[in-house]
Amino acid sequence: MTDLILALDVLTREEAIEIAEKTAPCLDSIKIGYPLVLGAGLSIAGELAEFGLPLIADFKVADIPNTNRLIAEHVFEAGFSAIITQGFTGSDSVTSCVEAAHDAGGECYVVAEMSHPGALEFLSGENAEKIAGMAVKCNADGIIAPATRPDRVRKLREIIGSKKILSPGIGAQGGSAKDIANMIDGMIVGRSIYQAEDPAKAAREYSEFRR
């Protein structure tokens, strides 16, 4: 299955609820992070959970093991189903997030390689491959890999085997759903849906790439 995950990076509760109402029937889950939570408060997670879709917490957690666990505990208490952590902090920090997620019955994904051009400075190539290998050893549920670089997704897939790959960078950042959908487990799409003139139509069009 390739899921369609909406990156709901709007800034207010009202916009978030409006877009979720329009698009939820075509989505498999919703990802929120700093833009919305800093604007609307963590309680927005409970409101969005009412749409009946899994909610992914994208705080790209990147701290020492104890702090990572404390953050993860808040996230799962707030109603999220999954958390995203950075991998460059090392295996003890990642393990802490994975364990907190699994203790709560949730999932943990590790950012291996990012989708923007600047990622090529530090967070790509050999470093990304090492992070992907480490994510497997730490028993993470999957990794984040860039839809803007399908060749890299292919390489990271060789390393992680059947673990999941969630991929941002489709649409606004130039990645193509058509090119990447059959290589990954989740397409993360933000602006191309929530900034579209007709978000419901845009979500429906992306949902056609689910398999």
Rounded least distance, CB 169 to ligand O7E, Å: 6
The CA distance from 199 to 124, in Å, is 32
* Catalytic entry in 3, 22, 58, 141: 58
Answer yes or no: 63 catalytic: yes
| Summary count for the chain: helices (H), strands (E) | 11, 8
* 126 C-beta neighbours (distance < 10 Å), count: 7
Tell me the Ramachandran region of residue 32: left when phi exceeds 0, alpha when psi lies from -120 to 50, beta otherwise: beta
Residues 61, 97 contacting (CB under 8 angstroms): yes
Residues of span 155-174 touching ligand O7E by CB under 6 A: 166, 168-169, 171-173
Rounded least distance, CB 145 to ligand O7E, Å: 8
Query: Binders of ligand O7E: how many residues, by CB under 6 A?
Result: 22
Q: Which residue is nearest to ligand O7E (CB)?
A: 190
Rounded least distance, CB 59 to ligand O7E, Å: 9
* Catalytic entry in 63, 130, 155, 185: 63
Residues 107, 154 contacting (CB under 8 angstroms): no
- Tell me what percent of the chain is helix, strand and coil, each rounded to the nearest 5: 50, 20, 35
How far is the CA of 101 from the CAs of 20, 27, 75, 154, 194, in angstroms?
25, 23, 9, 27, 28
* Catalytic entry in 3, 22, 28, 60: 60
Residues of span 115-144 touching ligand O7E by CB under 6 A: 115, 144
Residues of span 28-67 touching ligand O7E by CB under 6 A: 33, 58, 60
Answer yes or no: 60 catalytic: yes
Known binding-site positions for substrate: 9, 31, 115, 190-191
Which residues are at the interface with ligand O7E (CB under 6 A)? 7, 9, 33, 58, 60, 84, 111, 114-115, 144, 146, 166, 168-169, 171-173, 188-192
Residues annotated catalytic, as ranges: 58, 60, 63
